[in-house]
A and B are shown apart, each in its own frame.
Chain A
C-alpha cells in the first residue's frame, strides 16, 4: 500500500455517498472553456508534418515528425509505412532527447593530447578538412589508397562516404553488417543468395486481388513461430515482428516457441520457453533435422513433416542429406553419443530429450510455420554457420519457405537502393602495384583486405574485428592478381560506429590504435571520427567531424519488409550546431583531395554532379524497387514474369513503362524524393508468395532466388556439364589459382577448402560441446552471453526517458545517486527541450546489470544489487551489479551489449555510472573470429563470478 493510497482512505467515506450528492456541484461536469479550446487548437494547428525514417536503431521505422517553429515537437509512426504501421517504440518517440542532447558533437575538433586522453581543440571545418585531406594524400602516395579503411559503423546513410573512398581508390569500405550477425546470415546467403529469414507477419501487406485491384491485407496466416536466440521485442531490426507475433497469436491462434537461455521479452509471448545451454543452437537444429528425416512418413498425416515437392526447387538435397547422415555413424568425443541424435542433443543442450522431440515434431507437423534464428544465437558463435545452414534446410524441406504465413528471405525481397550513387563502379578502375619488383595490374577491388586477403576471402560482409591485428601486422593479399602484395592500415575513417568499444575486445583495439613505430609516431597515421555522438572511439581520434543527426539529413530507410517498400529519411530540421550532412562532408573532402592533386577525384563525380543532397538520394532511388516480377499472386500480371521492375508504384500500375525484352527489365518513372514526399513519404509495391516458382505452374521460374542456378542450393561447389556452380565456388577457385593456399580461417578448423555441402565444426570456449575446453568447466562454471538491449545502445543510453525504463535482466534501475545534465521536456515555450542539471536518486535510473539465476546467486552468497567481478580464463574481468531472477538458465550469465563501463563523457548519464556497470566486450576473446567470415565470438566465453 503506497502513501497516496493511505491518504485516499481519508476521502473514501465521502465518496461512498457520492451518488446521493448533486453531481453538478461535486464533479464539476464541464467542457473546456472556449479560451482553453482555442488555445489548444492554435497549439495543434501550427505544426508542419514531415515524413521521415527513424535511425535510433536499425529498424528504421517510418516516422512523422511534427515541426513547429523549426523544432521537432512531436514524433509518431507513419501510418502509411507497413514496417511499423503507424507505431513508434519508446526509442522512436524519444528522438527529441537525442537531437537536442547537450552531449552531441557540436563542431570539428583536432586532437591536442595523446590518443585516448580526450584533449581536443575546436577548429573550423576548413582546418579539419585540410588536415584530413593532406594526411590522406600523403598516405595514398606513400602506401597506396588501399591502406585507408572506411568503416561506417552504421549502415544507414553511408553511401556518400563509400562513394568518396571508392573513388579515392580503396576497396576497403565497410559497414555495420560486418559487426552484426554475420554467421546468422550465412546459410541464407549461401543457399538462396539472401540474408535474414523472418516470419511472414508484416501486416498490412499490399496484395493483388483476383479482380486485379490492390488491397491491404491484415490477416495473419502463421500457425507456429520458433524464435531461436532471436528477440524481436527487445533487439529488433525487423520491427513488425513485435505486433506480428502477438497479432498472429491473438488473431490466428499461432503458437510461439522462444529458445533462449534467458527469459527475453519475446519469451513473455511464448507458449513454450526453452532455455538451452549457450552456443548449442546448431546442435538443437541438427537434432530437429535428424528427427524429421528419421520420422517423416508421407502416408501418416501425423508424420508428414517433409514437403517432398520441394525437390523441384532445390539443387543438391541428396548430397546434403548424405553428408548430414554420414555424421550419424560417428561418436561425439564429448559424450560418446551418435551425432545429432536426441540423446546427443539432450546431453549438449541441457534440454530434455522429450523437449527436443516435441519441438521437432511440432515444427514438422504445423504449417505454415517459421523457424527463425537470430543475432543472439548463431550470430554470436564461432560455428554459427552450421546452425544457419540447417535452419534454412529445416524451413525449406518442411515447405515453409516463402509460403503465406511461412518464412521469408527479407533480403531477397526488399527494395534495391543505392545504385551508382554508392560508387561501386569506381572499384573496377585499373591500378598497378609493384610485387617482388614486378609491376602487376589489377582493379581496385582486387586490393580488398578480406576478399583477397590471407584470412577470410569469403567474408562477403567484410571483417572489422581484426583491425587491431591489421594495424599491428598489416595486410597480406594471397589471392587474385595482387597475390603477394602486402600493405599496412594507415588511416581509419570511422563514421557512426564505436568499434573501439564494440568491435571485439576494447583493450586490444586501444593497444593497436595507440601503438607507435620505432620513431615514436602512431602506426595508424590518421584516425578520423565522424558522428553526431561523442563516443569512446572519438577519444582516440585525431580529427572529429560532427555529422548532422538523423533528423537533419536526407536519405532512405534501410529495412527488411516482406515485400518492396522504401521511404524517405527526410531532413526535418536544419543541421544543429556546426554539424554537416554526409553529402556536404563528401563534397568538401572530395574538393580538398582534388585541390591537393588527386586526379581520381573528379568534379563531375562529386560537387558538380550533386548540387543538393536530394540529387544524391534521387540517384540512390533510381534503381528501386529493382526486384523481379515473380510469385503468386503475380505482382504485375500485365508484365512478363521474371522481368525486373523499376519505377514508381503508380507508373508501373498505369503501364507508363518501357519494356526491354533483351535485358528483361520493365522500367516506369523513377522514384524520386519528390514522389515520396507527395505519397506520405513511402513507395510500396505488391506482395507475393511462392516467389521461387511460376505463378501458373508447379515449376521453377528461374528468376528467384539469387543463386548460381536460380534454385535453392544445398550444395555449395559443384561442376555440371563443364560449368561450375555454387555459393562457395568463387572462393575455392581463388584457392586453387593460388596453388592451394588455405586461408587462415579455414586452417583453424582443419578445412583445406570451402566445403561442397553440409559441414559441421564446434564452437570455441564451450566446455559442453568442444572437448578442448572441458578442462575449464570447473573453475569457470558460467557461460557468458550478451545481447542488445533495446533502450541501451549508445545513442539511446544518453536519453533520460529511456533511463526510466527497465529491460529484461540486463538494464535495471540500480544506479547510485548521481547528478547529470540532461535534456528535459518543456511543456511551455518554443523550445521542446531544455538542458538541466538533475539529481537522480539511487535505484531510479536504469543501468547495465549482470543477469544471473537466483539459485546460482544464492549459492555464491550474492544478493540482488551486489557488486560482483566476472572473470574469464584469459585473465580479463569486468564489474557490475547483479540482477538475479528465475528468468535465466542456471550456469548462464547475461550482460547487455555495451551497456556498461561507458568511459566517454559524451555518454551523459551512462558515463556517470561507468564504475559499477559491466563491459561485456572486455571479456570477449579477440582471437576468436569465426573461421569463414571473421566475426567475433561475442557469446563464446566462460567465466567465474566473485563478490567484489
Chain B
C-alpha cells in the first residue's frame, strides 16, 4: 500500500512562535508577502477574559483538491499517490486558475520563478496567458510537505523539524503506528473548513474550536 502523508498540528502545544512560517520560507525560499505555511494570530475578548489564538495554516493537500480541476495543462498540478498535491514547475504556465480555485488560499504565484513551458501553446484556451511570454509569467507555488526532503527520504517537513512547541506531526495515515495515526486514533481532532467539501487532510487538535472563527483568514490573501 502506498503511503498517505498528512500533517497534524496539536494546538495545545502551539506556543505561537511562528517558526513554522519562517522555517518554511527558509526551506522553500517563499517570497516576501506570500506563504506556503503561515500562522494566523488573533487577539479577542475583553479584559480580563482576553484570548489570543495561534492558528498555523498550510496547504491541506486535500483528498479532493479543487485546485487540480481548473488547471489547463495536464500534469502541471497533480496529486501524487502518497497524497501530496504537487506543482510541476516545468509544465505550469502561471495562469493562476488553481490559485483562485483554492478556498484556503494555499497557492500563490512565485515572483522569482519564471515559467518554462511555452504559454503560447495554450493561449487559445487560456485567456490569462494570451499574448504573454514565458519570462513574463510566474509559476505557482504551494506547500508540498517539503517534497525535496521527502525525495531524500527525510519524512519531516522543515516546519515539523523546527517546531518549537513540538506541536507538529507528520506521517503516514496508512501506517497505524505513525504519530499522526496514533494521535488521530486517541485524541479528538478537527479540520479547518471541512464544509468546503475538499476533504482537507491537515488535522488539528483544537480543544477551543473558537480558533477556527477567530483566525479565519486564508493562507494567502
Residues of A within 8 A of B (CB): 2-5, 7-8, 10-12, 14-16, 18, 26-33, 36-37, 40-41, 43-45, 74-77, 84-94, 96, 233, 239, 242-243, 245-247, 249-250, 263, 265, 267-269, 273, 275, 790-791, 800-802, 804-806, 808-809, 822, 824-828, 832, 838, 844, 853-855, 885-890
Q: Find chain B residues with CB under 8 A from A74 CB.
A: 26-27, 158
Which chain A residue shows the least CB distance to B150? A40
Kindly state the separation between the CA atoms of A89 and B14 in the bound complex, as whole angstroms: 12
Residues of B within 8 Å of A853, CB to CB, are: 47
Residues of A within 8 A of B105 (CB): 2, 4-5
Report if B110 contacts A (CB, 8 A): yes
Bound Cα distance from A744 to B70, whole angstroms? 77
Q: Which of B64-89 contact A (CB under 8 A)?
A: 64-66, 68-70, 74-75, 77-81, 86, 88
Top 5 nearest A-B pairs by Cβ distance? A28-B78, A887-B50, A827-B29, A8-B103, A825-B29
| Nearest neighbor of A91 in chain B, beta-carbon distance | B22
What's the nearest-Cβ distance from chain A to residue B51, in Å?
A: 8
Q: B158: which of A33, A76, A90, A844 is its contact (CB, 8 Å)?
A: A76
Is the beta-carbon distance between B41 and A806 smaller than 8 angstroms? Answer: yes
A809 with B148: in contact, given A246-B167, A827-B28, A828-B113 (CB under 8 Å)?
no
Of A33, A44, A90, which one neighbours B19 at CB under 8 angstroms? A90
- Taken together as a complex, chains A and B put the C-alpha atoms of A5 and B218 apart, in Å, by 9
Chain A residues within an 8 Å CB radius of B47: 275, 853-855, 886-890
Pick from B25, B41, B43, B103: contact of A825, CB below 8 A: B25
Residues of B within 8 A of A (CB): 10, 12-19, 21-23, 25-33, 39, 41, 43-52, 54, 64-66, 68-70, 74-75, 77-81, 86, 88, 90, 99-105, 110, 112-113, 147-149, 151-152, 154, 158, 161-167, 196-198, 217-218, 220-221
Q: Are A27 and B16 in contact (CB under 8 A)?
A: no
The smallest C-beta distance from A167 to any residue of chain B, in angstroms, reads 41
- Which residues on A sit within 8 Å (CB–CB) of B28? 827
| A267 to B53 CA separation, bound complex (whole angstroms) | 11
Q: Taking the nearest CB of chain A, how far is it from the CB of B2, in angstroms?
A: 10
CB distance from A240 to the nearest CB of B (A): 10
Report chain A residues within 8 Å CB of B43: 809, 885-887
- Report the Cα distance A90→B159, complex, angstroms: 10
Q: Is the CB of B167 within 8 A of A805?
A: no
Is the pair A29, B17 in contact by a Cβ cutoff of 8 Å?
Answer: no
A31-B81 in contact (CB<8A): yes
Asked if residues A7 and B26 are in contact (CB atoms below 8 Å), the reply is no
Report yes or no: A273 in contact with B26, Cβ–Cβ below 8 A: no
B47, B48, B70, B90: which has the most chain A beta carbons within 10 Å? B47
CB of B18 to closest CB in A, whole Å: 5
The answer to whether B18 touches A29 (Cβ under 8 A) is no
Residue of B nearest to A841 (CB): B33
Per the bound structure, the CA–CA distance linking A273 and B51 in Å amounts to 10
Please indicate the chain B residues that have their CB under 8 angstroms from the CB of A809 in the complex. Answer: 43
Task: Tell me if A242 and B25 are in contact (CB < 8 A).
Answer: no
A247–B166 touching, CB < 8 Å: yes
Residue of A at shortest CB range from B219?
A: A4
Residue of A nearest to B44 (CB): A886
Sampled A-B contacts (15; CB under 8 Å):
A5-B103, A8-B101, A8-B196, A27-B68, A30-B79, A40-B152, A89-B162, A90-B18, A243-B15, A265-B15, A268-B16, A805-B18, A854-B47, A855-B46, A887-B50
Partner of B52, one of A263, A854, A855: A263
Shortest distance from the beta carbon of A831 to any chain B beta carbon, whole Å: 11
Task: Give CA–CA (A43, B182) in the complex, Å.
Answer: 33
A825 & B15 in contact (Cβ 8 Å cutoff): no
Q: Is the CB of A30 within 8 A of B22?
A: no
Look across to chain B and name the residue whose beta carbon is closest to the beta carbon of A827: B29
Q: Could you tell me if A243 and B166 are in contact, using CB atoms closer than 8 angstroms?
A: yes
CB distance from B63 to the nearest CB of A (A): 10
B152 touches A801 (CB 8 A): no
Shortest distance between the CB of B20 and any CB in chain A (Å): 9
B52: chain A residues within 8 A (beta carbon): 263, 265, 267-268, 808, 887
Query: Distance (Å) between the CB of B204 and the closest chain A CB?
Result: 14
Give the residue of B22, B66, B103, B152 whose beta carbon is less than 8 angstroms from that of A805: B22
Decide: A44 and B75 in contact? CB cutoff 8 A.
Answer: no
- A30 and B82 alpha carbons, distance in the complex (Å): 9
Indicate which residue in B16, B158, B197 contacts A12 across the interface (CB closer than 8 Å). Answer: B197
CB distance from B52 to the nearest CB of A (A): 5
Residue ID in chain B nearest A26 by CB atoms: B69
**A8-B103, A18-B64 known; A790 vs B167 contact (CB < 8 Å):** no
Q: Which residue of A lies closest to B30 (CB)?
A: A825
Contact A90 B16 (CB under 8 A): no
Complex Cα spacing A888 to B167, Å? 27
Interface residue from B32, B99, B102 paired with A824 (Cβ < 8 Å): B32
Interface pair B165/A30, CB less than 8 Å apart: no
For residue A886, which residues in chain B have a CB less than 8 angstroms away from its CB?
43-50
Nearest CB of A to B190, in Å: 16
User: Is B217 in contact with A88, judged by CB distance below 8 angstroms?
Assistant: no
Q: What is the minimal beta-carbon distance from B131 to any residue of chain A, in angstroms?
A: 22
> Which A residues are in CB contact (< 8 Å) with B165?
242-243, 246-247
B15 touches A800 (CB 8 A): no
Bound Cα distance from A824 to B147, whole angstroms: 22
A93 touches B68 (CB 8 A): no
Please tell me if the beta carbons of B68 and A88 are within 8 angstroms of each other in the complex: no
